[in-house]
Amino acid sequence: MGVEVTARTAELPAAGGDSGVIELRPGLHWLGKDRSKLRNFGYVNNVAEVDVLRSTHRSVFTAINPRALLFGHTASITCLSKASASSEKQYIVSASESGCLPASDTFRSDVGKAVENLIPPLLFSVLDRADKQLLICPPVTRFFYGRRECFHKLLIQGDSSGRLCIWSVPDTLELQDNTEGLQMTTSTSLQEAFCKLTPCPAGIIDQLSLIPNSNEPLKVTASVYIPAHGRLVCGREDGSIVIVPATQTAIVQLLQGEHMLRRGWPPHRNLRAHRNKVTCLLYPHQVSSRYDQRYLISGGVDFSVIIWDIFSGEMKHIFCVHGGEITQLLVPPENCSGRVQHCICSVASDHSVGLLSLREKKCIMLASRHLFPIQVIKWRPSDDYLVVGCSDGSVYVWQMDTGALDRCVMGITAVEILNACDEAVPAAVDSLSHPAVNLKQAMTRRSLAALKNMAHQKLQTLATNLLASEASDKGNLPKYSHNSLMVQAIKTNLTDPDIHVLFFDVEALIIQLLTEEASRPNTALISPENLQKASGSSDKGGSFLAGKRAAVLFQQVKETIKENIKEHLLDDEDEDEESMRQRREDSDPEYRSSKSKPLTLLEYNLTMDTAKLFMSCLHAWGLNEVLDDVCLDRLGMLKPHCSVSFGLLSRGGHMSLMLPGYNQSIGKPSYGSVEVERKMSITEGLGRGTYGVSRAVTTQHLLSIISLANTLMSMTNATFIGDHMKKGPIRPPRPGTPDLSKMKSSPPASSNAAQGQIKQGWSQLAAMHCVMLPDLLGLEKFRPPLLEMLARRWQDRCLEVREAAQALLLAELRRIEQAGRKETIDAWAPYLPQYIDSIISREYSPFILKLIWLKYMIKASV
Amino acid sequence: MVHSLCRFKEEEFKWLLQEEVHGVLRQLQDILKEASHRFALPVGSTEGPVKQENFMLGTSSADQVKGVLMLQGDALCQAFSNGVVIYDLRLPPVEIRFKVKNWLNQYCSKCPHSAVSVDGSVGDGMYGFEGDINLKIPRNNQLLHFTFREDKQWKLQQIQDARNHVNQAIYLLTNRDVNYQFKTGSEVLKLMDAVMLQLTRARNRLTTPASLTLPEIASSGLTKMFTPALPSDILVNFYINLNKLCLTVYQLHALQPNSTKNFRPTGGSILHNPGAMFECGSQRYEVSHVHKVECVVPWLNDALVFFTVSLQLCQQLKDKISVFSSYD
């Protein structure tokens, strides 16, 4: 765009000058022949603005009076700002590509005055970068007026090494004699913040990746989480792939306990075949159930793609079809031809795309004529086309069946082809998201069945949309998920190891806990039918869940239509899946055998482990010593090594994570010795820190810990210590193993007295977080929960969350007292219906407030 | 064994950074300068007269629209050739001949109930421009003849932009002269990314013409470029698509304010279809006929090939560098 400006300004007549400055018309100035470059300036706030895109110039032309050219930069100028508040004295800050920042000031008394009265501009000072390390791109510089005091001027610069520098520009205009220039006020970088951390931030499988004679563990280069088994699969830079229980390994990294002494804990499996870095992992069964449950696919730097059997740990096949590092593994959409449906799509850095058949164990198509890196892969299943978009904008259309290149186009046609794929794919794959398209198709085909189907789908879409809007508040997936724990790998840089974010779904966790509790007495009567049905504890439970949810539903006298739709739809879906699976199991003997075969790692109780990890991270340790002891000894929770970094998901799907350094205020002089600071950060970190971060974080954390504590309280034997942790309660014993007796013996071990103590422990824990936390922490370190978030959960679909939200809301209303309640009502009054005002004006009781919140909520949901 | 392998790799990487990169940069500069010359072709040499190229758009007899366009460089270009130069693609004089073949008749038969009467007087009112063109007898073939105004020039923004982007790419390449030592691979990648960005933009500018709405075409400066002035019911648009210079002519029909026709303004598009409607200054129009003619400009084809070749060179260099960056 900037270039176009150049073209336009060039229409103006120009004359050369020795100084290189020519003024042409207001707003447009050129530097002349000796610099031989055309520049464009515009006025913003009466200060010359430099067009950054084409800044090849090292001087600033001031548009204010007197017009003058300011020299001093050694590289192109990237930032220019007016930096004086008064109109008496003008003061320009400019920054250049090299990072050197001359702050020049110009003086002027009045715009209208004669030119000779004016003092020429002077170079005030030059700010230079402290370290001269090579940057790959020019730093970004911005000028701000600080908030702390009036006319507090800050110049902030960020560069590609992750460093942030702040200069405080003095307000005084006296010329400084010293040639050093302005001193940098603060300089910090993410790298420094990470390096300062003790203990070092842990990688998810660091304890398994130690290299002898090295401080750095083996880097994890790719990972995939298999929620059905609770297993995390990590590919490492030495080519090995580790399969490890996710909760166990997270507990090792985050929490203190006896596991710290064990070597090689948690139990894991190593898959070795890649000769170099593993770049991508895919578990196709997770994306689509048409794939075999056993198959895990990995791609590496050694150009190979390998099929693994995760149950037996053996390598099934190795594909060596690509001529470059594998960069991506994808799953073709549902409605491809039968042959393609059992393929996975691999993309390599030699710009080739392969369709690798898992069933035939061969590559059925290799598209390798692309000249530029592959940017996007799209599908036209109806035409049997694979559409490859390259980084230069060209599009290649391949026939999947024959492997022939159908066409290669560029420009506007290429864009159209890609867009056409976008329209076609969602309509075909996910009929819910594009009802209009489908309706049109149904109309053109004049099929009554299709139309009927469409009407049903429309209703479903409506329902899913309703649900999505509700569920996204919680930052969850739009649909109810069966997985209480998700592990997502994130890479910030290609050379960095993967970092892993653990997502806990409190609602799913509660339902799973209750499901297991409900099924517990049944374990005594194991019949063959039950065995079959109960296999695979976490992904099967559909009927239990539906039952539980229905129970929750009927307890409530009043329910919104929204929830009714949801219940109905979810039940439907579960049934379908159930029957489909049943049919499949009957027909496909191989499928059945693969299904009943468990992972031969150590068995453990995924749900309880997840709860243990979650509760241990959330508990505010170090506030009540008696309670801490109860938690450790009786409830089996574990103390974290250091403060756990939490994040928050927003409605729009954005995630914010806390990074090191968030709790150290920048620019504050460091007090005391390093030792003291370190101690402080450790004690502070244990749970306390997170309640002072933000109100939204506090709300989520308190809701989670209270609702979970209440759930655990209602269960029998709900402690994280003991034999029952080793094994899932409803996981069937394999025939011919002596495990059965051991498992059966565990539940009766706990006596009634112990049960009572455990329940008391959970109740104390809930009470502390619900009521006592503000007093214990003090108001500086505690950010109170958000009332509106709690009010929205007042009628949450999960009973336990609902109860927790109600308790918390009442506690918070009590805490803020009359004055706070009045303030809240005043803030919300404009949004409330009129007739309620007359009631509440008399008395601000928590009950009335509750009513108002309900009113608000109903309004919001309608 | 492994150690020596690493050393060889290091050596090779060094060679790549010190020798190969500069070789590719030189090659790129040569190609792009050549491409840049293609754009400057109409400027001609300093000694000779300014060269002109004539392009006939719509050569077949079936075409209802014919245009003779002249691409002409001018003196202003030469004066600025030392710096960033605006490239002028000028089209004086342009002749657009519309062969109007019974079209009013067709139109009237299409909507017999419309408020427009089929009288010759209406035709007069609708096409009442002066000059040698007379539309009073719509049944016969008539020629509307327009030329570009002598006092104005029309520049094709697409070609200007492409040229500017190429020059920017050349500038980026010359910024690192032969003596410059590349120290890291990422530095080279960064440079290549910047060059490729400019080249992609240059190429995209030629391959993807702007999609304009009809009011935008109507209000563009191009409509005021003609003598005699274009009648209000004719719109003209020029653009470059790949290596072709395209001319579209829209014949419009003014919708009556109280027309029962469902008015729905159309969005932006490169080529509007008959039936597209728009509003311009409180008057609503509908496109009744669309004529499109095009003509291949050989040097644009060359330029596109040069862009593609240099983009490939850049990509190859990037690929070579990234082989090493994945190891160290």
Residues B201 and B311 in one domain: yes
Does A842 have pLDDT greater than 70? no
CATH number, domain containing residue A220? 2.130.10.10
B168 contacts on A by Cβ (under 8 Å): 3, 54
Residues A224 and A262 in one domain: yes
- Residue A314: inside a domain, yes or no? yes
Joined tokens for residue B161: 């932009």
**Contact A4/B168, CB-based, under 8 Å?**
no
**Contact A301/B209, CB-based, under 8 Å?**
no
Joined tokens for residue B139: 């049944």
Cβ atoms of residues A235 and A223 within 8 Å: yes
Give residue A178's identity as a one-letter amino acid code.
N
- Residue B82: inside a domain, yes or no? no
Which of B155, B187, B208 should we substitute to test contact with A (largest number of A Cβ atoms within 10 Å)? B208
Cβ atoms of residues A425 and A378 within 8 Å: yes
Q: Encode A798-837: b = buried (16+ Cβ within 10 Å), e = exposed.
A: bbbbbbbbbbbbbbbbeebeeebbeebbeebeeeeeeebe
**Contact B84/A349, CB-based, under 8 Å?**
no
**Contact A392/B82, CB-based, under 8 Å?**
no
Residues A375 and A235 in one domain: yes
- Residue A429: inside a domain, yes or no? no
**Contact A410/B207, CB-based, under 8 Å?**
yes
**Helix (DSSP H) and strand (DSSP E) numbers for chain B:** 9, 9
- Confidence (pLDDT) at A651: 72
Residues A795 and A839 in one domain: no
A349 contacts on B by Cβ (under 8 Å): 319, 322
Say how far apart CA A608 and CA A731 lie, in whole Å.
13
* Nearest chain B alpha carbon to A38: B84
Residues B276 and B248 in one domain: yes
- Confidence (pLDDT) at A281: 93
Q: Encode A778-791: b = buried (16+ Cβ within 10 Å), e = exposed.
A: eeeebbbbbbbbbb
Cβ atoms of residues A272 and A240 within 8 Å: yes
Residues A337 and A290 in one domain: yes
- The partner residue sitting opposite B183, judged by closest CB among A134, A325, A411, is A134
Cβ atoms of residues A227 and A286 within 8 Å: yes
**Residue B249 C-alpha from the chain's centroid:** 16
Say how far apart CA A288 and CA A335 lie, in whole Å.
12
**Contact B168/A54, CB-based, under 8 Å?**
yes
- Residue B73: inside a domain, yes or no? no
Radius of gyration of chain A (CA): 32
Say how far apart CA A644 and CA A705 lie, in whole Å.
15
- Omega of the bond prior to A266 within 30 degrees of 0, cis? yes
A147, A153, A181, A146: which is closest to A169 by C-alpha? A153
- Confidence (pLDDT) at B218: 85
Does A335 have pLDDT greater than 70? yes
Place of tokens 């166990």: A248
A328-342, A573-587, A736-750: least confident range: A573-587
**Contact A393/B203, CB-based, under 8 Å?**
yes
Place of tokens 């020299």: A71
**Contact B207/A136, CB-based, under 8 Å?**
no
Which of B153, B161, B164, B309 should we substitute to test contact with A (largest number of A Cβ atoms within 10 Å)? B164
- Residue A461: inside a domain, yes or no? no
Cβ atoms of residues A262 and A287 within 8 Å: no
CA distance B328 to chain A (A): 9
Residue pLDDT, tens place only, A129-145: 555 566 666 677 777 76
Say what percent of chain B tops pLDDT 90. 13
Does A347 have pLDDT greater than 90? yes
- Residue B255: inside a domain, yes or no? yes
- Confidence (pLDDT) at A661: 67
Say what percent of chain A tops pLDDT 90. 11
Give residue A31's identity as a one-letter amino acid code.
L
Does A371 have pLDDT greater than 60? yes
Residues A834 and A801 in one domain: no
Say how far apart CA A663 and CA B123 lie, in whole Å.
80
Phi-psi region for residue A81, left (φ > 0), alpha (ψ -120 to 50) or beta?
Answer: beta
- Confidence (pLDDT) at A299: 94
* Nearest chain B alpha carbon to A55: B168
Residues B218 and B286 in one domain: yes
If one compares B139 and B197, the residue with the highest pLDDT of the two is: B197
- Confidence (pLDDT) at A388: 94
B162 contacts on A by Cβ (under 8 Å): none
Q: What is chain A's mean pLDDT, rounded?
A: 66
- Residue A856: inside a domain, yes or no? yes
Structural domain that includes position A347:
206-424
If one compares A149 and A389, the residue with the highest pLDDT of the two is: A389
Does B201 have pLDDT greater than 70? yes
Say how far apart CA A141 and CA A135 lie, in whole Å.
14
Joined tokens for residue A434: 């594009």
Residues B279 and B171 in one domain: no
Say how far apart CA A460 and CA A432 lie, in whole Å.
7
- The partner residue sitting opposite A415, judged by closest CB among B164, B183, B208, is B208
Say what percent of chain B tops pLDDT 70. 63
Cβ atoms of residues A158 and A140 within 8 Å: yes
- Confidence (pLDDT) at A284: 92
DSSP labels for B142-160? EEEEEEE-TT-----HHHH
A415 contacts on B by Cβ (under 8 Å): 208
DSSP A139: P
Interface of B with A (CB under 8 A): 80, 82-87, 157, 160-161, 164-165, 168, 171, 183-184, 186-187, 190, 196, 200, 203-204, 207-209, 241-242, 270, 311-312, 315, 319, 322, 326
- Residue A49: inside a domain, yes or no? no
A11 contacts on B by Cβ (under 8 Å): 86
Say how far apart CA B127 and CA B141 lie, in whole Å.
15
Mean pLDDT of A549-573: 31
- Confidence (pLDDT) at A154: 74
- Confidence (pLDDT) at A493: 73
**Residue B163 C-alpha from the chain's centroid:** 12
- The partner residue sitting opposite A7, judged by closest CB among B164, B184, B241, is B164
> What ipTM was predicted for this assembly?
0.71
Residue pLDDT, tens place only, A593-636: 333 344 444 556 788 888 888 888 888 888 888 888 888 888 88
Structural domain that includes position B10:
1-40+157-208+303-326
Angle between helices A506-519 and A695-713 (to 10 degrees): 0
Residue pLDDT, tens place only, A629-677: 888 888 888 888 777 778 777 777 787 777 776 655 544 433 333 333 3
Cβ atoms of residues A20 and A69 within 8 Å: yes
- Confidence (pLDDT) at A316: 92
**Contact B80/A301, CB-based, under 8 Å?**
no
**Contact A7/B161, CB-based, under 8 Å?**
yes
- Confidence (pLDDT) at A123: 58
- Confidence (pLDDT) at B123: 29
CA distance A3 to chain B (A): 6
Residues A99 and A122 in one domain: yes
B38, B62, B129, B56: which is closest to B96 by C-alpha? B56
Residue pLDDT, tens place only, A456-470: 555 455 445 444 444
Mean pLDDT of A574-598: 38
CA distance B103 to chain A (A): 31
Q: Within a 13 Å sphere around the CA of A524, how many CA atoms are in the beta-carbon half?
A: 5
- End of a domain among A196, A227, A243? A196
Residues B248 and B320 in one domain: no
Say how far apart CA A680 and CA A664 lie, in whole Å.
11
Specify which residues A345 forms β-bridges with: A330, A355
Which of A412, A413, A495, A496 should we substitute to test contact with B (largest number of B Cβ atoms within 10 Å)? A412
Give residue B25's identity as a one-letter amino acid code.
L
- The partner residue sitting opposite B200, judged by closest CB among A371, A393, A412, is A393
- Residue B199: inside a domain, yes or no? yes
Does A520 have pLDDT greater than 60? yes
**Contact B311/A54, CB-based, under 8 Å?**
no
Contacts of A235 (CB under 8 A, 6+ apart): A220, A221, A222, A223, A241, A274, A277, A278, A279, A280, A281, A298, A300
- Confidence (pLDDT) at A195: 79
A784, A785, A802: which is closest to A854 by C-alpha? A802
The dihedral sign for the CA sequence A780, A782, A785, A786: positive
- Confidence (pLDDT) at A695: 85
Q: How far from each other are the two terminal CA atoms of chain B, in whole angstroms?
A: 17
Which of A52, A54, A280, A392 should we substitute to test contact with B (largest number of B Cβ atoms within 10 Å)? A392
- Confidence (pLDDT) at A588: 40
CA distance A300 to chain B (A): 12
Q: Within a 13 Å sphere around the CA of A484, how many CA atoms are in the beta-carbon half?
A: 26
- Residue B172: inside a domain, yes or no? yes
**Contact B241/A411, CB-based, under 8 Å?**
yes
**Contact B187/A33, CB-based, under 8 Å?**
no
- Confidence (pLDDT) at B60: 61
A162, A153, A160, A281: which is closest to A224 by C-alpha? A281
Residues A405 and A285 in one domain: yes
- The partner residue sitting opposite A371, judged by closest CB among B80, B187, B315, is B315
- The total domain count for chain A is 4
Residues A188 and A296 in one domain: no
Specify which residues B67 forms β-bridges with: B57, B96
**Contact A392/B209, CB-based, under 8 Å?**
no
Residues A293 and A353 in one domain: yes
Mean pLDDT of B262-291: 83
The full 3-state SS of A629-696, as one line of letters, equals HHHHHHHCCCCECCCCCCEEECCCCCEEECCCCCCCCCCCCCCCCHHHHHHHHHHHHCCCHHHHCCHH
- Residue B291: inside a domain, yes or no? yes
- Confidence (pLDDT) at B104: 34
Q: How far from each other are the two terminal CA atoms of chain A, in whole angstroms?
A: 46
Which residue spans within A680-822 are E strands per DSSP? none
Say how far apart CA A534 and CA A519 lie, in whole Å.
10
CA distance A250 to chain B (A): 29
Which of helix, strand or coil describes residue A455?
helix
Selection from A152-156, A474-478, A540-544, B156-160 with the highest mean pLDDT: B156-160
Does A589 have pLDDT greater than 70? no
Residues A807 and A832 in one domain: no
- Whole-angstrom CA distances from B78 to A715, B44, B81, B129 are 88, 9, 5, 39
Interface of A with B (CB under 8 A): 3-4, 6-7, 10-11, 33, 36-38, 54, 56, 134, 136-137, 277, 301, 325, 349, 371-373, 392-393, 410-412, 415
Residues A300 and A349 in one domain: yes
Phi and psi dihedrals of A630, rounded to 5? Answer: -60, -45
Residues B165 and B229 in one domain: no
- Confidence (pLDDT) at B308: 92
Which of helix, strand or coil describes residue B65?
strand
Selection from A158-162, A590-594, A627-631 with the highest mean pLDDT: A627-631
pLDDT category at A17 given cuts 50, 70, 90 is very low
**Contact B161/A325, CB-based, under 8 Å?**
no
- Residue B125: inside a domain, yes or no? no
A478-492, A829-843, B162-176: least confident range: A829-843
- The partner residue sitting opposite B242, judged by closest CB among A37, A393, A411, is A411
Residues B286 and B172 in one domain: no
A387, A610, A358: which is closest to A487 by C-alpha? A610
Selection from A16-30, A407-421, A710-724, B285-299 with the highest mean pLDDT: A407-421
pLDDT category at B199 given cuts 50, 70, 90 is very high
- The total domain count for chain B is 2
- Residue B25: inside a domain, yes or no? yes
pLDDT category at A546 given cuts 50, 70, 90 is very low
How many other C-beta atoms can be found within 10 angstroms of the C-beta atom of residue B109?
A: 10
CA dihedral B170, B173, B179, B181 (to 10 degrees): 170
Total residues found in chain A within this entry: 862
If one compares B280 and B307, the residue with the highest pLDDT of the two is: B307
Residues B176 and B287 in one domain: no
Host H or E run for residue A89: strand A89-96
- Confidence (pLDDT) at A535: 36
- Residue A612: inside a domain, yes or no? yes
- Residue A643: inside a domain, yes or no? yes
Mean pLDDT of A795-809: 86
Selection from A49-63, A158-172, A492-506, A808-822 with the highest mean pLDDT: A808-822
The dihedral sign for the CA sequence A690, A692, A697, A699: positive
Residue pLDDT, tens place only, A94-134: 555 444 444 444 333 222 223 333 445 555 566 665 555 66
Joined tokens for residue B109: 């038969």
Residue pLDDT, tens place only, A227-281: 888 889 999 888 999 998 888 888 888 888 776 667 667 788 889 999 888 999 9
Size of interface A-B (CB pairs under 8 A): 73
Angle between helices B21-40 and B298-325 (to 10 degrees): 160
- Residue A587: inside a domain, yes or no? no
Which of helix, strand or coil describes residue A210?
coil
Residues B201 and B246 in one domain: no
Residues B242 and B314 in one domain: no
Selection from A413-417, A652-656, B103-107, B195-199 with the highest mean pLDDT: B195-199
Cβ atoms of residues A90 and A64 within 8 Å: yes
